[in-house]
Amino acid sequence: MRLRSALAAVLGAGVLIVTTAASASAAAGQFRYDYVTVEGYEASGFLNSPPNGQCLNLPGVGEDNPQPGHAPKNRTDAWATVFTDANCEGNSFTLRPHTGGASERLKLRSVVFN
């Protein structure tokens, strides 16, 4: 009977570790940026708790919009590398966690968090 209890405790701990590791794969916080819509309106875009290690093309500044995003603000707990082109291509700039930001002169279309 004790062997079953010990086995159940080990399995429970293993499930807890796997669950905790999976939730840690996202950058906690928010990444914000500004852009001009296709119609010419000022807008703000944001990503809440974005995944780590995955290239993200920013909504609103894709191929259908000739205007890139600008003035990014990294309020996540991970480093953010922004790129001038989609699919994390082109020139890049790194923003530190929590307080990283740049002026409207920095243009961007994609980002990856590390």
Tens digit of pLDDT for each residue in 56-104? 999 999 888 999 999 999 999 999 999 999 999 999 999 999 999 999 9
Give the tens place of pLDDT for each residue, 6-63: 444 444 444 444 444 444 589 999 999 999 999 999 999 999 999 999 999 999 998 8
Structural domain includes residue 77: yes
Q: Per the structure, how many domains does the chain have?
A: 1
Determine whether 26 is exposed, middle or buried from the number of CB atoms within 10 Å of its CB (0-12, 13-18, 19+): middle
CA 114 to each of CA 43, 77, 96: distance values in angstroms, whole numbers, following the listed order: 26, 9, 10
Whichever domain contains 33, its CATH number is 2.60.20.10
Inside any domain, residue 89: yes
Q: Which domain holds residue 59?
A: 29-113
The number of beta carbons lying within 10 Å of the beta carbon of residue 31 is 25
Through-space distance between the first and last CA atoms of the chain, rounded to whole angstroms: 46
